[in-house]
Amino acid sequence: MLNRLRAECVRKGPNFMRYPLSFTPFAVKKHVLQQVLCWQFSHALAEGELDFLEGRWLGIDITDLGLCWRMTVREGRIELADGTHADAWFRGQANDLLLIAARRQDPDTLFFQRRLIIEGDTELGLEVKNLMDAIELETLPAPLRIGLLKLASFVEAGLNEDANSSLDCAGKLC
């Protein structure tokens, strides 16, 4: 019973979050995202690993949340903006992007399954993908790393339960 509840939360959770996010002003989203991204990429910024974004815009679109922003690096700091112009775009669903961030899914696999879409400047897209692959989870602040891994475990188990429950119903009315 609890496994099915978890599967429903994982499957429908992004749709529930989409509604309040649609009414949240971009300034609030920007503040929260900027804090999380600066926290997550503080080591990469300090090491100069994000310098390739200087003067270039990367768009992130979490399609099922309706959450979309652009980011760049200016004077060693991450800067966010809304809008539609970006040199490269990463588009995907929340659960998939979360599993990529937690190293539970390979971005190349999701790309070939068309669950991760990379558009625009392919060189920039590859640099971002390589950076995502190179960031060690151990360099993330402990609360962020632990929260990310626990949420990824929850999502992964929910996705597995959802896939298994459809097999249990084969030939039956569910």
Instruction: For residue 172, tell me if it sits in a domain.
Output: no
Q: Is residue 54 part of a domain?
A: yes
Domain ranges, residue 83: 1-162
Is 101 within a domain?
yes
Distance CA 38, CA 27 (A): 16
Inside any domain, residue 115: yes
In the numeric block, the tokens 């959802």 are attached to: 162
Within the chain, where are the H helices? 2-23, 26-40, 42-47, 94-101, 107-112, 122-134, 142-168
Q: Considering the domain boundaries, does residue 168 fall inside one?
A: no
Q: CATH number, domain at 48?
A: 3.30.1050.10
| Whole-number pLDDT of residue 173 | 46
The confidence score (pLDDT) of residue 164 equals 65
Segments in the chain below pLDDT 70? 162-174
In degrees, rounded to 5, the angle at the alpha carbon of residue 152 between the alpha carbons of residues 147 and 157 is 130
